[in-house]
Copies of this chain bind each other. A is one copy, B any other.
Amino acid sequence: MAQAAPLYRLPCGACLDCDVRSMAVCAALEDDEVDALERIMISRSLEANQVLAEEGDPKTYVYTLTSGMLRLCSSLPDGRRQISGFLMPGDYLGLADDDVHTRTSEAVADAKLCAFPVRDMDGLVKVYPRLSERLHGMTRAALRHAQDNQMILGRLTPVERLASFLLVLSRRAREHKQPDNPVLLPMPRADIADYLGLTVETVSRSFTKLRNDGLIRLPDAHTAEIVDRDALSDLAGIEPH
């Protein structure tokens, strides 16, 4: 059977100009090697709140987020929800899972992704050991991050949780080569609440507290300007970055 020309393929060499080239999985490959990745890649885009994969779905694709933001979440039968993480451009979706997605992934804001069929990706990983090493390294980093969250959820007060959340977002923005000060908050308060194990009201009150104490400014609900980073770090119980 004749194979139709694959849809949604980016123009050849597009990966080389990609915004996230230096921080995503593909950073493991040399310029003349990314081509192999590009060949198995399919572009996708999501609108805000669109679901990419549901908890329990078979893992047929893995993804690199190139723009926008995703949330990974799971819910209890009675509706209680926990967000285990937010993905920023350059982040990889599928690090934790073997054959099945263990979390639901949804777009917080309009998002663009590179989709890789897992079968093809598994093949590439065997050809390029550095790709495998990079994935393993990203998994380790995700694990450290999840363990940090255990401390945040288990032992920090609401204001401390929010302080640490803002600092982590700021630091990650910097790592992703974006301005680290006003911190952009594309997600609604309910998402922050479900990430920090709080209610929206408590999140809102914690924002107000940080503002009244002069640690941050809030030009609008989706922008937090860090005024006193040291005090914020003190609160969060972590070293300033």
The bracket for how many chain A residues form the interface is 35 or more
In the complex, chain B residues whose CB is within 8 Å of the CB of A227: none
Quote the shortest CB–CB distance from A202 to chain B (angstroms).
12
Q: Is the CB of A155 within 8 A of B103?
A: no
Given contacts A151-B82, A155-B76, A237-B77, contact A102 B144 (CB under 8 A): yes
Question: A84 interface residue, CB < 8 Å from B?
Answer: yes
In the complex, chain B residues whose CB is within 8 Å of the CB of A194: 154
A197→B78 CA distance, assembly (Å):
22
Quote the shortest CB–CB distance from A131 to chain B (angstroms).
12
Q: Is the CB of B80 within 8 A of A147?
A: no
A140→B59 CA distance, assembly (Å):
14
Question: A25 interface residue, CB < 8 Å from B?
Answer: no
Q: Is the CB of B103 within 8 A of A147?
A: yes
- Give the B-binding residues of A (Cβ under 8 A): 72, 74, 76-78, 80-82, 84-85, 95-98, 102-103, 132, 135-137, 139-140, 142-144, 146-147, 149-151, 153-155, 194-197, 237
